[in-house]
Chain A
Amino acid sequence: MRKKVLAAILAAAMAASVLIGCGSVTSKGGAPMAATEESAAAASEEAGTDEAAAPASDRTKITALFRGSESGEQYQIFNDLLSRFCEEKGLDYDIELVNGDADYVTKLQLYINSNTLPDIFGCPNGALSAACRDIDALIDVGAELKRNGYYDKMNGAVVDFLTDAEDGNLYLFPQGLYCEYFVYRKDIFEQAGITEVPATWDEFLEDCRKISEIGEIPVIVGGKDNWQIMRYLSFAPWRVTGPEFIMGYQAGEETFSENEAAKSAVNLVYEMGTKGYFEPGFLSVDYTSATDLFYGGNGAIFYSGSGQIAQAEEMYDNGQLGFFPVPDVAGMENMSTNVPIHAGFAEAFNKKTYDAAMQEFFDFMCENFSEACYNNAKIFSPFNEELPEGLPQLYYDTKPMFASADTAWTSWDDKLSSDVLTSIVDQQQKLAGGDITPEEFEQTVDTFVK
């Protein structure tokens, strides 16, 4: 009997340890926080408003769910902020990480369905944020930023990127400020006799031809990752129409076969794929490998951005790299913003658990976010602040490109419904691989929306 009891206790202990270990990344000990309504009110009063006072808190822990790994930017930033805040307040924190887009979406859906979302969670602006909004699970981040005085400091294009399409509110806090641009190898351009960076897509293709003729790979692309080729498909419609084409397409009001900008983008992908301007086997190369390929010395042009300054830093400082924005579509009126700016994956705050402690954390986060962006994640802060000293030169040189940007990047991943997106991804691979013609592509994708 004693043996049985002992076995039962051991089994229970093992099960408990397994459950405790599941998915938990970080946990720090500490006494429960004794935040009171007074402290919350004081925080609100400091921010100049009494209306936003959150309920008193007896919480002992802050929970978070993020996409990616421990080396990911979201984790790097929030692990730093949460550890500092929780240590100060005597709280525990727990960050759950899910690697991979599809797995993350599934996990988030489970939390939404069961209405058991953590205090903070990664959430893109689109169907998932709408689902959270529908169950009243989102704090109005815009109102909170106005309360603590940080709203006006936020980059306009970032706010534009995260603004809810239905009610115009800002429910999401940016992961950072990301700008994207092309980087190129100066030596290869020189060898190919290219003296100026391409200003239009026609010039871009002409430069690719010249580079190809000297036996170099013109463009490195991570074609295995859906968004990489989709960027080339969306550049022209974005430069000419902003978000209008893709929103119109999703609503069934626009078609690829009738929109000239979209048609030129389709032709661009087909031409680049079939003329060998992308590296051989590009459909089996993922973005990480493509990054390693380019910064390892292969290819002349790579679509990169501020998220990869760490990789580009050395070559740029040695004068080997240059950069240029998204080219214009020749013969059409292009908008002035030519650098895609977005806010990354974004974070949402659970309204159900948003108490005084969380409000205090929100303010702490805003105060220290830029520091965490530059020191930990090595990305631009979404707040319009002076760049700190000592950053790689590429930060200072690229910032003027987006300083005056007023229109955010339109991410097709967020704007298209999931099923249309999945179907387009399959077709774009066929298009880039030359298995279907541009006309066949246009006809097929036009049937995806009714």
Chain B
Amino acid sequence: MQKAFGRKAVLLTFLLPAFVTYTVFVFVSIIWAGYYSFFEWSGVGTKVFVGFQNYITLLTTDSVFRMTVWHTFAYTAIDVVIQVFGGLLFAVLLSRIRKLRVFLQTMYYVPVVISSVAICQIFNKLFSVTPAGIINTVLGMFNPAWKILEWTSDPAKSLYVAAFVEGYKYLGLYMVIFYAALIAVPEELSEAALVDGATKFKEYIYIRIPYIKPVIIANCVLVLNGSLRSFEYSWLLTGGGPGNSSELMTTYMYKQAFSSMKYGYGSAVAVMIVIICLGVGFVFRRFTREESSE
């Protein structure tokens, strides 16, 4: 077996399909978008070469794009909190119970397998104001004014609602990963801590959670990656609105390219998304690597 894997042909057989697929669907797309970003083009008709003009406009005069960058960071931060820390909390709680654990684990995981469109439809109904959805109906029981509380149509809340819905959907996924990591922590470590007089709380804080730190970091990277590129939740729940209140970089890119029919400009936004994602990923990896080496 060892011999077989050492052979170049075998290695290539395993590596080449993934490499080719990745190159064709990721690298070529990025390069293609980079090429289009130097043109003024409506998607039909003649392309006019404008050099770096799209980037200059994007970085100097486009206040909406700047707003979308901050929205995306806020959105990502909320998702990290819900998915990573929420997932970890749920996993810890799950690891502490014996009864109904499998049932609860399955229930928490259900949103992960439901499609994004269906989840957004469900939340649209839940957050509905006219007619009042379940949330407003329940709130209305406490205070009649809360029955017409706006969620997705309130510019002050729309971004957070969209982030919450995405966080809710994937919380179960990260919970399962954390749970698997937590139960894999060697029992002798926990037992040693308990023998030394540690409480259950301290056991988690000083033994189990530090032990699964690589898993936490890996999950953070996954959530960062997913949230920075998130599109469908904001798009389906609010369409980036009202106004631009829940506009993310991706929805803005889509609007520029496909609604405003500015393919060149939309491509420039797409390239900026790639650069920002790479930048954030690089900084995060650098930060976590330095911390690990310490």
Q: What is the interface of chain A, defined by CB distance below 8 A to chain B?
A: 102, 105-106, 109, 112-113, 127-128, 131, 134, 217, 223-224, 279-285, 293, 298, 417-419, 421-423, 426-427, 429-430, 433, 435
Contact A430 B242 (CB under 8 A): yes
* Given A429-B243, A435-B242, A284 and B259 contact (CB-CB distance below 8 Å): no
Contact B44 A280 (CB under 8 A): no
- Residues on B with beta carbons closer than 8 Å to the beta carbon of A282: 130, 153
**Segment among B19-27, B75-83, B144-152 that sits at the interface with chain A:** B144-152
Contact B130 A280 (CB under 8 A): yes
Scan residues 132-174 of chain B and give those whose CB is less than 8 A from a CB of chain A: 148, 150-153, 155
- Residues on B with beta carbons closer than 8 Å to the beta carbon of A421: 259-260
State the main secondary structure of chain B at its contact with A: loop
Q: Count of A-B contacts with CB under 8 A? A: 92
Contact B45 A134 (CB under 8 A): yes
Chain B residue with Cβ nearest A296: B131
Say if the beta carbon of B129 comes within 8 Å of chain A.
Answer: yes
Contact B258 A281 (CB under 8 A): no
Contact B243 A106 (CB under 8 A): no
Contact B258 A105 (CB under 8 A): yes
Cα distance A387–B102 in the bound complex, in angstroms: 65
* Given A127-B261, A419-B260, A284 and B153 contact (CB-CB distance below 8 Å): yes
Shortest C-beta distance, B67 to chain A (Å), equals 11
Chain B residue with Cβ nearest A101: B259
- Residues on A with beta carbons closer than 8 Å to the beta carbon of B259: 102, 418, 421-422
Per-position contact with A for B232-260: 1 when CB-CB < 8 Å, else 0?
00000011011110000000001110111
- Residues on A with beta carbons closer than 8 Å to the beta carbon of B239: 224
Say if the beta carbon of B128 comes within 8 Å of chain A.
Answer: yes
- Residues on A with beta carbons closer than 8 Å to the beta carbon of B153: 223, 281-284, 433
- Counting from the closest, the 7 A-B pairs by CB-CB distance are A281-B129, A419-B260, A283-B153, A284-B153, A418-B261, A280-B148, A430-B243
Scan residues 116-134 of chain B and give those whose CB is less than 8 A from a CB of chain A: 124, 127-131
Shortest C-beta distance, B188 to chain A (Å), equals 50
* Given A105-B258, A284-B128, A418-B259, A131 and B148 contact (CB-CB distance below 8 Å): no
- Residues on B with beta carbons closer than 8 Å to the beta carbon of A223: 153
- Residues on A with beta carbons closer than 8 Å to the beta carbon of B128: 281, 284
- Residues on A with beta carbons closer than 8 Å to the beta carbon of B155: 430, 433, 435
* Given A106-B258, A433-B155, A281 and B44 contact (CB-CB distance below 8 Å): no
Contact B150 A113 (CB under 8 A): no
Say if the beta carbon of B262 comes within 8 Å of chain A.
Answer: yes
Cα distance A422–B258 in the bound complex, in angstroms: 10
Say if the beta carbon of B186 comes within 8 Å of chain A.
Answer: no
Say if the beta carbon of B54 comes within 8 Å of chain A.
Answer: no
